[in-house]
A and B are shown apart, each in its own frame.
Chain A
Amino acid sequence: EPEVTQTPSHQVTQMGQEVILRCVPISNHLYFYWYRQILGQKVEFLVSFYNNEISEKSEIFDDQFSVERPDGSNFTLKIRSTKLEDSAMYFCASSEALAGTNSPLHFGNGTRLTVT
């Protein structure tokens, strides 16, 4: 069964450094998402992406965050200057149609980001 893959599985970085989290969505999916889960907290929506542009973003997704689909297969999340509070598990997801339809989201296994 096709799956969403994320790399790396764990990333440790120093505060103020830039990080890029990588995802390969399922190949025939058109909608891509990033969510995050701070340890012990709820999974939170960050951003949705369709047709090479952001379609919705949360208040968490400020100017420090950006997303890109640099080629036909990868989907990346960049954090320009990491803060301690960015430490979390970051999940990429994809779907055939919008989240609000009958098309379920398929999640990757996540990247655990630790900012020291």
Chain B
Amino acid sequence: KQEVTQIPAALSVPEGENLVLNCSFTDSAIYNLQWFRQDPGKGLTSLLLIQSSQREQTSGRLNASLDKSSGRSTLYIAASQPGDSATYLCAEGGSEKLVFGKGTKLTVNP
């Protein structure tokens, strides 16, 4: 059974700090790995998608890496800001569906 785990469950950092969120998955035959942001009471916003043939993707202050052999992905956020406070979800992409982790709740304190 596909399983996605995210550590830590919650993280609180001061503004300006660089941070790393971790995601591990069990299915080595993934098609892609996607990172989403979820604000309270809102939907999921796609941040980055890494195809299985890629090792990383970057968008602004965000960088996501993928290591299929170890079943791990990381999301690196540079120079964090209070507006980055949200829950970050990773999801492994199969051919038809996404399997989500439970998320890391990030709080960036001013």
Contact = CB atoms under 8 A, between A and B. Distances in A.
Interface of A: 4, 6, 33, 35, 41-45, 48, 55-56, 58, 91, 93, 98-102, 104-110
B60 interface: no
B61 interface: no
Contact of B44 (A6, A44, A45, A91): A91
Main secondary structure of the interface of B (DSSP, over half): strand
27 contacts: A4-B43, A6-B43, A33-B97, A41-B102, A42-B102, A42-B103, A43-B44, A43-B91, A43-B100, A45-B98, A45-B99, A48-B97, A56-B97, A58-B97, A93-B44, A99-B31, A99-B93, A99-B94, A99-B96, A100-B32, A102-B32, A105-B44, A108-B43, A109-B41, A109-B43, A110-B42, A110-B43
Task: Give the top 8 A-B pairs by smallest Cβ distance, nearest first.
Answer: A100-B31, A104-B46, A56-B96, A107-B43, A45-B97, A107-B44, A43-B100, A100-B95
Contacts of B32: 100-102
Contact of A100 (B36, B46, B96): B96
A33 B94 CA distance: 14
Nearest to A46: B97
Interface of B: 4, 31-32, 34, 36, 41-46, 49, 51, 89, 91, 93-103
A101 B44 contact: no
A53 to B, nearest CB: 13
Given A55-B96, A109-B42, A104 B89 contact: no
A111 B32 CA distance: 27
A100 B97 CA distance: 7
A110 B43 CA distance: 6
Contacts of B43: 4, 6, 91, 107-110
Among A58, A91, A104, A106, max chain B CB count under 10 A is at A104
B46 A105 contact: yes
Nearest to A43: B100
Contacts of A4: 43
A99 B93 CA distance: 6
